[in-house]
Amino acid sequence: MADNKIGDLNELLSVDLDQDLLVVVDASNDETKKLKPQNIFSCERVIIASNSCANGTLAVVVGGSGNSASGNYSFIGGGKSNLTSGDNSFVGGGYNNTASGNNSFVGGGRNNTACRNCSFVGGGYNNTAQRNNSFVGAGRNNTASGDNSFVGGGKCNKACPNCSFVGGGYNNTAKCEMSFVGGGRNNTACSYYSTVGGGSNNTAFNSYSTVGGGLFNKACGLYSTVGGGKTNIARGVYGFVGGGQGNVASGSYSSSVVGGRGNCANSKYSNIGGGKNNNIKITASYNSCYSSIAGGCKNTICGQGSSSSIAGGICNEIKGKKSFIGGGDSNKISESAACYSFIGGGCNNNILSRGSFIGGGSNNCICSAHCYSTIVGQGITSVASGTLHANQLAIMNLPTSNPNVSGVVFRDGNVLCVSTG
């Protein structure tokens, strides 16, 4: 056997732990000795690599160069300049990786560090798991610095406090306990239980706030939500913006904007469905709470316009409470006293009194002194309260005899009559 080259020897495909032997050089005694495979890990330390050391009890360095296993029961599989200084720590390979916490793990890669107990870095470059049970899967320049914190991968991500989570992406930060960033770029979850799903430059500022995705969105209020879109802001408690661009839900409580662009729901429990540049305002003395604008453009509810609605149209305005404008252009219920009023549509119609109605048309006006009046037509200005105003009136199928009911109109031949009862 001594005359045979190693390459010429027969390969051993299975090991008999009781009968087969390994040849080991005992450097301290300059003597060749035999070792049974079953006893290899019962040695105080094992080094099968060059220019490496295993100073810990039962530490193992299998391969590579310049590796050091100084922790008890620590293991280095290979690579170069790797260090396991924690007890039961593990480095699989790579370059300049360090597992310094007890039961810490670095799979491979370069310049990765698992610092504390049960910390984990799978691979990648320059990643750090700094605290107990912290985890970095891979990627580059990622840091899990809180106990039980998690960074899945990506680049320059940070899971800072305890139980924080960053899935991946670039330059994302989970700043507070239980905060979550799924991915994307430059996203930040700032407060307890805050969430950013993805997108870019989004921020969840308050506890339990959520930004699903999009660009430059902010969820500022407690329990507030921005689903997506661009430059949207949910400020109040339970504030909600579904999407769109430049929308703001800033009512103190439960205001919402579903979508559109440039819409602003400033009053509590107010809602804007969509459209553009619609506004539910708060003034110095009044709050337009419980109001809604379904859509359209440049529609406004303000003043005492609580519980009022605008369905659509353009440049319509309500100041009276519990009033309604269906649509059209530049229609107004323009006084706070003009509550319970209705404009169906049309153009440039105006109600200044309580409980009044304009069906449509254009340039109609019910004056402030004429409550409970109605206009059907065009270019009409009210003259009395509780009165129907019309350009023309056609009454069909009138009774032809007196019904003897006070106030009922009937026809007596060609004469129009009103019954007195």
Render pLDDT for 334-378 as a digit per residue (tens, 0 to 9): 988 899 999 999 999 999 999 999 999 999 999 999 999 999 999
What is the residue range of 305's domain? 278-390
Q: What is the pLDDT of residues 186-221, one digit of tens each?
A: 999 999 999 999 999 999 999 999 999 999 999 999
Question: What is the four-CA torsion angle of 127, 133, 137, 139, rounded to 10 degrees?
Answer: -20
What mean pLDDT do residues 79-93 have?
97
Domain assignment of residue 357, yes or no: yes
What mean pLDDT do residues 140-161 have?
97
Residues 402 and 385 in one domain: no
Residues 315 and 402 in one domain: no
Given pLDDT bands bounded at 50, 70 and 90, which one contains residue 27? low
Residue found under tokens 């080094």: 47
Burial 158-169 (b: 16+ CB within 10 A, else e): bbbbbbbbbbbb
Residues 402 and 369 in one domain: no
Q: What is the pLDDT of residues 87-134, one digit of tens each?
A: 999 999 999 999 999 999 999 999 999 999 999 999 999 999 999 999
Domain assignment of residue 144, yes or no: no
By C-alpha distance, which of 79, 19, 71, 21 is closest to 45?
71
Domain assignment of residue 356, yes or no: yes
Q: 99 and 85 in contact (C-beta within 8 Å)?
A: yes
Given pLDDT bands bounded at 50, 70 and 90, which one contains residue 288? confident
Helix, strand and coil content of the chain, in percent to the nearest 5, comes to 0, 30, 65
Specify the DSSP class assigned to residue 375: E
Percent of the chain at pLDDT above 90? 79
Who has greater pLDDT, 154 or 7? 154
Specify the DSSP class assigned to residue 196: E
Residues 386 and 399 in one domain: no
State residue 378 phi and psi, 5-degree precision.
Answer: -145, 135
Specify the DSSP class assigned to residue 253: B
By C-alpha distance, which of 219, 213, 221, 114 is closest to 172?
213
CATH number, domain with residue 310:
2.150.10.10
Q: 347 and 365 in contact (C-beta within 8 Å)?
A: no
Domain assignment of residue 324, yes or no: yes
Query: In this structure, how many other beta carbons lie within 10 angstroms of the beta carbon of residue 34?
Result: 8
* pLDDT for residue 1 is more than 80: no
Residues 330 and 352 in one domain: yes
Domain assignment of residue 379, yes or no: yes
Residues 292 and 305 in one domain: yes
Given pLDDT bands bounded at 50, 70 and 90, which one contains residue 414? confident
Domain count, the chain: 2
Domain assignment of residue 405, yes or no: yes
Q: 95 and 79 in contact (C-beta within 8 Å)?
A: yes
Domain assignment of residue 368, yes or no: yes
Query: In this structure, how many other beta carbons lie within 10 angstroms of the beta carbon of residue 297?
Result: 18
Residues 318 and 334 in one domain: yes
Domain assignment of residue 385, yes or no: yes
Given pLDDT bands bounded at 50, 70 and 90, which one contains residue 303? confident
Task: Please give the model's pTM, rounded to 2 decimal places.
Answer: 0.84
Quote the tokens at residue 391.
Answer: 């350009």
Residues 381 and 414 in one domain: no
